[in-house]
Amino acid sequence: MKDMADHSAELHLEGWLKRHLPRRLAGCAIFIARQLWAALFALIILGAILLTRAIWSPDWPLARYDALVIIAVLTQVLLIAFRLETWEEAKVILLFHITGTVMEWFKVHAGSWGYPEPGVLKLFDVPLFTGFMYASLGSYIARMIRLFDAVIAPYPPFWAGTLLAIAIYVNFFAHHYLPDIRLLLFAASLGLFLRTRLWFRMGGTWLWMPFPCAALGIAFALWIAENIGTFTGTWAYRGQGHFELVSLSKMGAWYLLFFVSFTTVTLVMRSALRRAPFRPASLRTDPASAQRQSAAPQKPAH
């Protein structure tokens, strides 16, 4: 049987919103609710960062960073246990934990940012909860695809998107020693994905947005999360004041990292990708019919 997460909580909330709100307002509320539900892992991690910053005392026997590691692990276990996350999504989180932790080790030792608080569960000066922060982005993408029945089309050849992701990831390391090619990578992302649309379904209605715009929107949300992290003193960029906003240039880095993240997700979940343009038979139809129409005539990208 296909591994599926339990949708009962999602359906119950959406049913309540439809019954108690006007149709258009209910549609907006459901869209926001699904976005928040997709970002469940990230919201729990951010909430833990804020809560521990507010209540933690340096005199306590357990360091705040170690508490964040324990919270992240318990969250992952509970999401699986209560079927709020699929095993496929858990595989995505594991991949992100590995790639994110490796980049954290390098960046911290390169002096880009640091983690000033003590902790036992640190490796090479990096607390182990940081891998879960990267993993929360992968969790959001995977859950968003599932919750919105997303289709990404026309998707460029998978090898081309993978090469772009590898180039972006390598440049995060290499620009410390070689010329920074991020402007070229920005251009390459637009060249590859300018025609690509992110299709998603709301009730019986198919909607879409340009794929680079989706990447930019997520980059902005991550920039806000970055400011939460620095305001709480959980990490600090080199030369940044305590209440100073994170540089807007970091949005560019997160925009590029989105393509690394999305490619990592599709190493495990590739069924949402379509090489040909996606044209729903009707922009408004019932959910079961729309799912058949979206799946039947199209082939996943390879």
201-226: per-residue pLDDT in tens? 887 789 999 999 999 999 999 999 99
213's CB contacts (< 8 A; 6+ apart) are none
Per-residue pLDDT, averaged over 281-301, amounts to 46
Q: Is the pLDDT of residue 112 over 90?
A: no
Q: How many CB atoms are closer than 10 A to CB 238?
A: 9
What dihedral angle (degrees, nearest 10) is formed by the CA atoms of 141, 147, 148, 153?
50
Name the residue with tokens 């996350």: 85
For residue 117, the 8-state DSSP code is S
Cis-peptide, bond into residue 154, ω within 30° of zero: yes
Burial class from Cβ neighbours inside 10 Å (0-12, 13-18, 19+) for residue 38 reads buried
Per-residue pLDDT, averaged over 99-113, amounts to 88
Per-residue pLDDT, averaged over 35-59, amounts to 92
**Residue 22 pLDDT:** 80
Q: Are 86 and 5 in contact (CB under 8 A)?
A: yes
Please state, in angstroms and rounded to a whole number, the distance separating the CA atoms of residues 302 and 131.
28
Q: Are 212 and 193 in contact (CB under 8 A)?
A: yes
> What percentage of the chain has pLDDT greater than the value 70?
88
CA 155 and chain centroid, separation: 19
Please state, in angstroms and rounded to a whole number, the distance separating the CA atoms of residues 44 and 296.
37
**Residue 197 pLDDT:** 97
Closest CA relative to residue 132, chosen from 85, 104, 97: 97
Name the residue with tokens 């902790």: 119
**Residue 100 pLDDT:** 85
**Residue 2 pLDDT:** 43
**Residue 1 pLDDT:** 37
Q: Is the pLDDT of residue 3 over 80?
A: no
